[in-house]
Structure 1
Amino acid sequence: MTVRLRAHHLLCVLTYVGKGYTPAFVANLDRIAARLSDGEDVLIVEGPDDICAPLLEGGDGHCHTASVRRRDQIALAEVASTLERDLVAGDRLTLGAAQLANLRGSYAVERVQGACGGCQWKPLCASVAASGYRDTRLQATSSTHPQSQEA
């Protein structure tokens, strides 16, 4: 299977420690983190993704706003630069141990935090990064999957 993620959620999963908007949101993100930890691929999508699902059920429209779409654009460019490859919606990648370490290293030194400006979760994420990503739910395994695949 494949996890559908919008670009800025690639950053969110780096520091996710079980906190979120609602209990349903947290339970959903726990399942997604477990799937990613098991080596499922990520399909980069535009707009709402698998993480957004519980918020959309309640009619929360922030997943559709221009500011969130802008976060996705910034995150996609920064993640692509960090991974040293082009990335567009429709591309696939696997967050194996090397990719996760690379992204977390870049996040810790604020190379991939441009999309985080104004986010209410930024202080928590910064604290998680400062702790060395202790207690994060996404734990990459040494994967034999390729870093990326073309869609």
Structure 2
Amino acid sequence: MRIRAHHLLCALQFRGYGYSEAFVRRVSRVIALWRHRPGLILTITRSHDAWCRACPNRDTSNCRQAAARDARVLACLGLAPGARLEVAAAQDLVHRKIDSRAATYICTGCRWLDGGYCRW
């Protein structure tokens, strides 16, 4: 499954809010799949992924800003686009490498962090 790098962080902070009902349903389904299949292989990307199919902001300026977040996540995690990891390994890597300082750097300008939805 292709997944944007910054969605690795978002998945751990997701609270059922989103850009639209369809987006929330899609993200909820993907996260449930990850819970049931921790060995599922993720291919990390800086472009559209499994979540983006339902995003109303796809190809807008908000979406273009997300690519910069992806780059910052990749740098912080020590990964390159195309890296392949099991869900469990990806989540473990995020837990080990991302703290509140890193999240503030990565997620600068994100409405969910700025709105207090994410807690690192």
Indicate which of 33, 36, 40 corresponds to 1:35.
Answer: 33
Give the equivalent residue in structure 2 for 1:107: 98
Higher Cα Rg: structure 1 or 2?
Answer: 1
Q: Distance in 2 between matches of 1:88 and 1:106?
A: 15
Q: Distance in 2 between matches of 1:26 and 1:101?
A: 24
RMSD: 2.2
Q: Distance in 1 between matches of 2:10 and 2:58?
A: 18
Structure 1: runs of 5 or more not aligned: 81-86, 130-151
Q: Which runs of 4+ in 1 moved over 6 A?
A: none
Contact 2:77 2:94 in 1 (8 A): yes
CA 1:36 to 1:77, structure 2 compared with 1: closer, same or farther past 3 Å?
Answer: same
Q: Secondary structure at the match of 2:44?
A: strand
TM score, norm. by length of structure 1: 0.65
Give the equivalent residue in structure 1 for 2:48: 48
Point out the structure with the larger helix share.
2
TM score, norm. by length of structure 2: 0.80
CA 1:121 to 1:64, structure 2 compared with 1: closer, same or farther past 3 Å?
Answer: closer
TM-fit CA distance, 1:29: 0.4
- Alignment length (residue pairs): 115
Give the equivalent residue in structure 2 for 1:134: none
